[in-house]
């Protein structure tokens, strides 16, 4: 009965979103006359938030008499960036959007006339105009304060004491975990509850949903609290789609099946790996910590590959060359590496509700998901557990080699 009700609800949501008119106009005037670098060009970037897709849109404007002007149409409102980094430079760095740690202006783009005054740099600015600029300013202030504490205190301190004092490290890690929990489950929750009629609240809700992963209780409660216009806005579509994906990928559920080409063009079907334990790993060459994880995975693969275990890598890259280079550099050609080079727009990524550059699913021989996002020692411990009572019929390897699994 619950499944039927959920299906009807989703049909209603999609019906409302389908009626949305995507030809909403915006204008932006950016005053950069006081910016010390005296930019000659300013670049606008924004992301397609809805439809569960990461699609970046680009525009540029020449600075004339200290001002850059943009105009266009958007299908929905959302976070946008102004930077001095061109699209060509982003492509060369294999990035979808500019690095927000640099001199980047981050604001809320909506169908309105916006005026942005830069005080001395792009990152020091004031926005006027628009229905949601004030709400976004409040949201960004909370976010900036949290990120400042995380990036300038906790992360450096954790790195400093990691190898020096395990007791101090564990204590500091616990403290940071509490700070993070407080930010996501209290600060952002309160922001949503105080902005039930603002689509900016969806930014906070999306962050809560991503942080809490398989525990959707808080995000579902907040979603039900939103006004109907916000909950069914096109900006909320990916939140509903992620809820669907959580159901498909819950522990005990049958892993959604798919087929993808590997780095040589041969097709691999997940179904053809039935009978083995499979670690389905989503990763990207742009993932800073994936290299270290792949080092650990190589050891785990060698430890368990004779015991009915293999790995399927699914890349979230969009450019072939960095993907192939990372396969070689990380030494992960020992198991199948798959990708359709559509990034987060990949049907497989959307099927599994992938939102991070690093996610994993452990699938048992019958095709059921038995664990999610286990890495390093946790993964090795889980594999020892599942193989403890496993009686092997053969110790030969060809049956489990990636070449024998190709379709």
**pLDDT-derived band of residue 289, with 50, 70 and 90 as boundaries?**
confident
What's the average model confidence in pLDDT over 1-16? 43
Q: With 70 as the cut, is the pLDDT of residue 15 above it?
A: no
Give the separation between CA 239 and CA 49, rounded to whole angstroms.
10
Tell me the pLDDT tens digit for each residue of 34-53. 999 898 999 998 876 444 45
Tell me the pLDDT tens digit for each residue of 192-215. 999 999 999 999 999 999 888 878
Residue 233: what pLDDT? 93
Give the separation between CA 21 and CA 78, rounded to whole angstroms.
16
Cβ contacts of 275 within 8 Å, gap of 6 or more: 308, 365
Residue 48: what pLDDT? 62
Tell me the pLDDT tens digit for each residue of 118-142. 999 998 999 999 999 999 999 999 9
Residue 101: what pLDDT? 65
Tokens standing for residue 130 = 């628009």
Neighbours of 342 (CB within 10 A): 16
Q: What rounded mean pLDDT belongs to the chain? A: 86
Tokens standing for residue 76 = 């929905």
Tell me the pLDDT tens digit for each residue of 305-318. 998 899 999 999 98
**Contact 44/80 with Cβ under 8 angstroms?**
yes
Q: Closest Cα to residue 54, out of 17, 92, 6, 96?
A: 96
Q: What values do phi and psi take at 117, rounded to 5?
A: -110, 120
Give the separation between CA 364 and CA 389, rounded to whole angstroms.
14
What are the distances in angstroms from CA 94 to CA 103, 333, 340? 19, 21, 16
Tell me the pLDDT tens digit for each residue of 215-272. 889 999 999 999 999 999 989 988 998 999 998 999 999 999 999 999 999 999 999 9
Q: With 80 as the cut, is the pLDDT of residue 88 above it?
A: no
Neighbours of 380 (CB within 10 A): 17
């Amino acid at each position: 009965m619950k499944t039927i009700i959920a299906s009807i609800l989703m049909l209603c949501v999609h019906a409302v979103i389908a009626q949305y008119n995507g030809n909403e106009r915006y204008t932006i005037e950016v005053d950069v006359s006081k910016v010390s670098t005296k930019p000659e060009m300013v670049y606008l970037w924004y992301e397609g938030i809805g439809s569960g897709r990461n699609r970046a849109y680009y525009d540029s404007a020449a600075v004339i008499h200290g001002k850059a002007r943009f105009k266009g149409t958007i299908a929905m409102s959302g976070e946008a960036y102004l930077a001095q980094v061109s699209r060509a430079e982003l492509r060369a760095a294999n990035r979808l959007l500019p690095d927000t740690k640099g001199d980047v202006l981050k604001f809320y783009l909506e169908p309105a006339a916006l005026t942005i005054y830069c005080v001395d740099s792009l990152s020091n600015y004031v926005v006027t105009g628009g229905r949601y600029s004030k709400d976004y300013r409040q949201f960004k202030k909370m976010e900036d304060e949290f990120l400042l504490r995380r990036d300038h205190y906790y992360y450096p301190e954790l790195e400093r004491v990691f190898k020096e004092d395990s007791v101090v490290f564990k204590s500091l890690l616990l403290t940071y975990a509490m700070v993070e929990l407080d930010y996501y489950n209290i600060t952002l929750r309160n922001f949503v509850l105080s902005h039930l009629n603002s689509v900016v609240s969806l930014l906070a809700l999306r962050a809560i949903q991503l942080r809490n992963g398989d525990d959707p209780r808080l995000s579902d409660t907040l979603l039900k609290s939103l006004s109907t216009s916000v909950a069914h806005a096109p900006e909320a579509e990916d939140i509903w789609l992620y809820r669907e994906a959580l159901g498909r990928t819950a522990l005990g559920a049958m892993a959604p099946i798919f087929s993808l080409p590997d780095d040589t063009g041969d097709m691999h079907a997940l179904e053809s790996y039935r009978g083995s334990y499979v670690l389905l790993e989503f990763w990207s060459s742009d993932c800073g910590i994936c290299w270290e994880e792949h080092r650990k995975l190589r050891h785990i693969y060698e430890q368990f590959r004779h015991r009915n275990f293999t790995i399927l890598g699914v890349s979230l890259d969009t450019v072939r060359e960095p993907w192939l280079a990372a396969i070689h550099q990380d030494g992960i050609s020992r198991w199948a590496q798959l990708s359709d080079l559509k990034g987060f727009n990949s049907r497989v990524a959307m099927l599994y509700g992938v939102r991070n550059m690093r996610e994993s699913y452990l699938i048992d021989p019958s095709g059921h998901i038995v664990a999610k996002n286990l890495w390093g020692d946790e993964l090795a411990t889980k594999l020892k557990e599942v193989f403890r009572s496993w009686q092997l019929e053969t110790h030969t390897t060809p049956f489990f080699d990636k070449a024998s699994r190709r379709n």
